[in-house]
Amino acid sequence: MVFAEQRENKFKKSAFEVVSAANTLAKESGSELVAVVIGDQVKAIASSLGAYGASRVIAAENPKLRQYSTTAFANIVSEIALKEKAEILLLPASAMGKDLAPRIAVKLDAGLASDCTALKWENSELIATRPVYAGKALVDVKITSARKVVTLRPNVFSADQADGKEAAVETAEFTLSDAEYSTMVKETTQSSGRIDVAEADIIVSGGRGLKGPENFKLIEELAGVLGAAVGASRAVVDAGWRPHDEQVGQTGKTVSPSLYIAVGISGAIQHLAGMSSSKYIVAINKDKDAPIFQLADYGIVGDAFEIIPVFTKEVRTLLGK
């Protein structure tokens, strides 16, 4: 079973990734794949999960569920999982998924493997690979309880429209007391136009080599043209140049974009741990001995203040923007 996250009645990309990854597991083990979606009037979007492999989608609807509630959502998912006798429950390791999965695991008396980057069957047992120490090491884990809860790191599993069918949509029956709604999101604020590093396909990150917060406009411009998120090293976040939520590294976010461009970042161990699983890494740094070059697929040893404006211009020409 899969929990498919939606916000404002649109599925998140990670919802499709989780359904698709679960579909692979279900096919290999000959199991049925059921998805759960929670919200207000979410039936309308539910059938689209069929394209990614869900045969049934159970929609739990209530006007109160338009906003996220940890307690209510955890209850609904657990109830449906028990009713459906789900053996494996997968969620995205998103802000919502990571908030929900541990509570659901306790309700189901299930072991939890968080933020997994690979799944496979071995002698009909599910083996999950997950990074630890922000990616400095990987562990393969086996969940030994009968029911298992797994969260999948966003941006790692591909969302394949394999089956191209429509899923059958059912309405979940559930009753929740007022107490279940007692923990409730009252307001969501999205920074307009900003992409979060945890979800971004391309990240342009800046470090101390940029010399001051005002120079991050170079990074923002390049990120803007690429449709990328802006990231930052711990040094510049600690110095107050950039907000905490842009920090990449062991005490920030661990990211796996297709392309990571590190500008003026020398590459402290804790930063490298957080971005080393990026598919392609570009480093631009004055110091040819900077550790970041050890990881970079492509590097330019030179002055970021000269290079980045040209980079932005070249990309703009390429993309016709």
Which residue type is seen at 266? S
112 beta partners: 149
Using alpha carbons only, give the angle 40, 46, 50 rounded to the nearest 5 degrees: 170
Strand partners, 113: 150
* Binds other proteins (CB under 8 A): choice among 20, 233, 256, 277: 277
Compute the least distance from the CB of residue 102 to other proteins, in Å.
4
Least distance (Å) from other proteins to the CB of residue 188?
5
The answer to whether 212 contacts other proteins (rule: CB under 8 A) is no
Q: Is 52 in the site for other proteins (CB under 8 A)?
A: no
- Segment lying near other proteins (by CB under 8 A), choices 18-26, 81-89, 164-172, 297-305: 297-305
Task: Determine how many CB atoms are found less than 10 A away from the CB of residue 214.
Answer: 9
215 contacts other proteins (rule: CB under 8 A): no
Q: Is 133 in the site for other proteins (CB under 8 A)?
A: yes
Segment interacting with other proteins, rule: CB under 8 A, options 22-30, 57-65, 167-175, 290-298: 290-298
Asked if residue 118 binds other proteins (CB under 8 A), the reply is no
**Long-range contacts made by residues 310-317, C-beta under 8 angstroms, separation at least 24?**
311/222, 311/284, 312/218, 312/221, 312/222, 312/225, 315/222, 315/225, 315/226, 316/225
Rounded Cα distance between 168 and 183, Å, is 31
Nearer to other proteins, 44 or 146 (CB): 146
Nearer to other proteins, 65 or 167 (CB): 65
Q: Does 32 bind other proteins (CB under 8 A)?
A: no
Q: 269 φ, ψ to 5°?
A: -50, -45
For residue 98, the minimal CB distance to other proteins (Å) is 5
Instruction: Single out the residue of 177, 251, 287, 321 in contact with other proteins (rule: CB under 8 A).
Output: 251
Contact string (CB under 8 A) for other proteins, positions 154-193, x = contact: ----------------------------xxxxxxxxxx--
- CA–CA distance, 75 with 253 (Å, rounded to integer): 28
Cβ contact 263:244 at 8 Å: no
For residue 169, the tally of other CB atoms under 10 A from its CB is: 21
Q: Give the length of the chain.
A: 321
- State yes or no: residue 203 binds other proteins (CB under 8 A): no
| Rounded least distance, CB 250 to other proteins, Å | 5
Structure tokens at 306: 């000269």
